[in-house]
Chain A
């Protein structure tokens, strides 16, 4: 670890938090339907859209209908993209004549993108036409907007009292796209373009290198996809190597910018929640919980990666950092981006459930790999669009319930009684997440079709499979990419974990909102457990640690932890 390394990490994080503050105010205005500075341009476009859809913007619906509308719209979008990929050979912008995507891979890909997961069992530049890549960019907008509006509906459930309606799905959805994702995507696409990301409809360029070697270069509409893939915390890149491919991430500045794009909106959503419920202290306390986890994770990953691989040192490599030699574990990392930026990127992409990678996670040190898996198991360190906030609030409900049990009082949260129904739904959401990871994982390591995909022997192979099911269930999409997932077994099983991992928790959470919205507000009293401050922080952090550790520690012990201790003892796996 170096001072310059720590400094560039701190600067990137600080800029994110500073930018998230005004953004959160803007978003709170948008979803409370208050005037914002963009009204002049966007209001007419929104009105036109609502007219075209024949939607009455003032009409609100209850949570069931809100959810149903969202899910059906998701289904339509999934279907369109499924068919575009399946029949890309009949569609334009396919100069390389790539064939249609086989159905199992197509199923996996379409589900993966509509759910904001962006798990990729294919190499983008090797199988997809530019037209198909553009179709995926469409889902990157809409899946992010879906997560966001469900979180907004949930927040309305918390603030409205003795009410029924949570909002109008169409209005919220269009606002999320027109007022947040589209304008930001354009701005950041232009910055990425300026920095070197290509934007063309040509698929490949042929060059003859200076030494006479013929080289083919894959290009395409990269800049437009890179910006929304990160702003929407989707993470599905244009290229197989994603942000490790220099066209997607040309330099260290774009690397920091990519982290900024991933993290700013999720952080802003925590703060927006505080503004909307009128309790900023509460939101900042949750922010502190998430930030603590982020920093601890970062410290582990950065120190492990900077320390490097002891086996290589023994063979004669210099893994110590010096003025001219970056040292550390450089396998799968870009030299000019460096260990510090790469560590932050990896921690950010798993915290914000983006899943974009600028290095091979499979080649990280065992404990770094463990931290990345653990972040996705928790899935609430700011998390993806809306979903991270929902997961955090689920944990808050469980936390205040446990605290209520300890003092023998009916738990309250934001002036509402938390009763059996909410706790049951919250527990269901939490356990669903764990079950959807661990059961398919157990099946995969018990059958030949699961074990066939492994690249690296020993406990690391186990980690590869664990990473895959955690990443898909958490809708992250990053991978220990040594695992070959493009098989019938993995395409289907990972596709299903993506599907259930996304929708079961979301349905439970919106249902909690639907139940809370009907409740009366109870006045605060001396016995009310304050939803901010050190005590609240401790209870929530403790709950997350307890639940997370009890559920996932055994799996982690068999994979990365075993690998780490074997490595210390100098044991290699064949």
Chain B
């Protein structure tokens, strides 16, 4: 009935062996495969500008608050889009404080985008994502911002409309997910348009970084 010392040594050996295999060897194996086969993804899908300076990740949203560009969803990750503190608001749907906070966000969006009518504010643009780092907004949320961006930058609305439409990520394999727009990609494209049409404004907003 009792477990003798010899038996305990077997158990200890099993523990150490599996630690070496499952923690060290396994992680290094995947790391090696990443280095060889998927170096871009393994490093975090980092995008670089023409001076080879890292400007962000294709997968991680950024704090886009300037009215001249497409804004993302509210973020509760640190002080907003902090890549080291992922997290959502965790507000319950019946929390009174949350609803007052939402009232402010909705009214702010309506004020910034006067073409949008009350009752038409897309549900995603006034709520935070689960990690506070999601780069995606709905197509509606991107299109609703186009008139504002057009009037501020002088880029015709029809061009912005086409820009949004050509950057939609549709359902994967035609099945999975919900169509949306990646704000990181979208604003990168916007920067190119702005560089051509209004260089001074481009310098002011994008500071020559992309």
Contact = CB atoms under 8 A, between A and B. Distances in A.
B159 interface: no
B131 A335 contact: no
A452 interface: no
Contacts of B49: 210
Contacts of B27: 134, 137, 221, 224
Contacts of A80: 15-16, 19
B12 A76 contact: yes
A358 B3 CA distance: 44
- Nearest first, the 9 closest Cβ-Cβ pairs linking A and B are A252-B177, A244-B130, A338-B178, A241-B131, A482-B90, A360-B88, A241-B86, A138-B23, A217-B83
B14 A73 contact: yes
A308 B121 CA distance: 14
B60 A330 contact: no
Given A210-B206, A211-B207, A336-B180, A363 B90 contact: yes
A337 B179 CA distance: 9
Chain A's interface size range is 35 or more
A467 to B, nearest CB: 11
A381 B64 CA distance: 43
Nearest to B86: A241
Interface string B1-34: 1010001101111111111011110110111011
Interface string A186-227: 100110011111111110111111111101111101011000
Contact of A240 (B60, B86, B177): B86
A221 B88 contact: no
B167 interface: no
A241 B56 contact: no
B191 to A, nearest CB: 6
A212 B23 contact: no
Name, among A211, A212, A216, A324, the residue most crowded by chain B CB atoms within 10 Å (CB to CB): A211
A233 to B, nearest CB: 16
21 contacts: A4-B171, A53-B14, A73-B15, A170-B14, A194-B37, A196-B41, A210-B210, A212-B209, A217-B83, A219-B43, A251-B177, A315-B106, A316-B121, A318-B123, A332-B89, A334-B136, A338-B178, A363-B93, A563-B92, A572-B96, A572-B99
Contacts, number: 422
A456 B69 contact: no
A142 B11 CA distance: 13
Contacts of A456: 90-92, 94-95, 98
Contacts of A315: 99, 102-103, 106
Name, among A170, A197, A336, A362, the residue most crowded by chain B CB atoms within 10 Å (CB to CB): A336
Interface string A332-373: 111111111100000000000000011110111110000000
Given A211-B62, A312-B126, A339 B38 contact: no
B43 A246 contact: no
A520 B157 CA distance: 82
A150 interface: no
Contacts of B90: 332, 360, 362-363, 455-456, 480-482
A309 B93 contact: yes
A370 to B, nearest CB: 13
A536 to B, nearest CB: 36
Contacts of B1: 64
Contacts of A316: 106-107, 110, 118-121
A482 B88 CA distance: 9
B11 A193 contact: no
Contacts of A253: 172-173, 176-177
B187 interface: yes
A76 B9 CA distance: 11
Interface in B127-144: 127-141, 143
A360 to B, nearest CB: 4
Contacts of B134: 244, 246, 334-336
A475 B132 CA distance: 27
A134 B178 contact: no
Contact of B42 (A69, A198, A228, A313): A198
Contacts of B10: 53-55, 170
Given A205-B54, A210-B188, A239-B86, 14 more contacts: A137-B23, A170-B14, A182-B22, A185-B26, A200-B43, A201-B31, A215-B63, A247-B60, A252-B171, A311-B93, A318-B120, A334-B130, A335-B180, A573-B92
B85 interface: yes
Interface string B155-171: 00000000000000101
B15 A458 contact: no
B59 interface: yes
A326 B123 contact: yes
B178 A336 contact: yes
A197 B66 CA distance: 30
A210 B70 CA distance: 12
